Amino acid sequence: MDRLWSPWRYQYVSQQAPKTCIFCEKAAERRDPDNYVICRARHNFILLNLYPYTTGHLMIAPFEHVATLEAAAPETLEEMMRLTRLSEASLRAVYRPRGLNIGMNIGECAGAGVAGHIHMHVLPRWPADASFLTTIGETRVLPEDLPTSYRRLLEAFRDRARTAGLSLSFPATP
C-alpha cells in the first residue's frame, strides 16, 4: 500500500477547537451584511460560506445550537428544507449551474468544520469546476468575490421569498 504524507495537515487537525460557535456568533451579532447573512427565518438563517468550494456556496444553520438531526426540533428541520429549496431556486437564477451539491457533514469524523452545530451546505456546480489546481495544488479559483456574490444572491432571495411561503427578514441592501 502506498502512503501519501501530508505533514502540513497536522497543523489543522491538531489545533484547538474554537471556544465559540461561528454560527451562534453570526446569529447573535446582527451584523448581517458584514457576516454575509442573506436572510433569517423563524428557526434558521442562510449565509455565504467564507471559505467556499464554489462561487455561491451557501449554508443554512439553525439558531439553536444542536449537533445532530435527532436533537433538532422537527419544525427547525422542516424550515431548513424549505430554505434549501429556496436556496436552490436562487442559485439557479443567479448562476445557472449544471448541478448542485446539497448536504450535511454531521460530526468531526464526517468532515464537519463546525461539528457541534448542524448546517446544510448548498453548492452550485459546473463541469470541471474542480480543476487540477483544486486536486493537486489545493487551490480554488473562484470567479466572483464574496461581496458581489452576496449582493446578487440577496436580490435573488428577496425576489423569490414571496412565493416560498416563508416569513423571512432581510438586511438592508449593502
pLDDT, tens digit, 9 for 90 and up, residues 115-160: 799 999 999 998 877 644 444 445 555 668 899 999 999 999 999 9
Structural domains in the chain, CATH included, are: 19-164 (3.30.428.10)
Catalytic residue, chosen from 65, 117, 119, 121, is: 119
Q: What is the Cα 37 distance to its own chain's centre?
A: 10
Residue 40: name the closest of 51, 52, 28, 49 by CA.
Answer: 28
Instruction: Decide if 43 is catalytic.
Output: no
Give the global pTM: 0.83
Q: How many CB atoms lie within 10 A of CB 14?
A: 7
Name residue 82's amino acid: R
- Tens digit of pLDDT for each residue in 30-74? 899 999 999 999 999 999 999 888 999 999 999 999 999 999 999
Please give the Cα distance from 127 to 131 (Å, whole number).
10
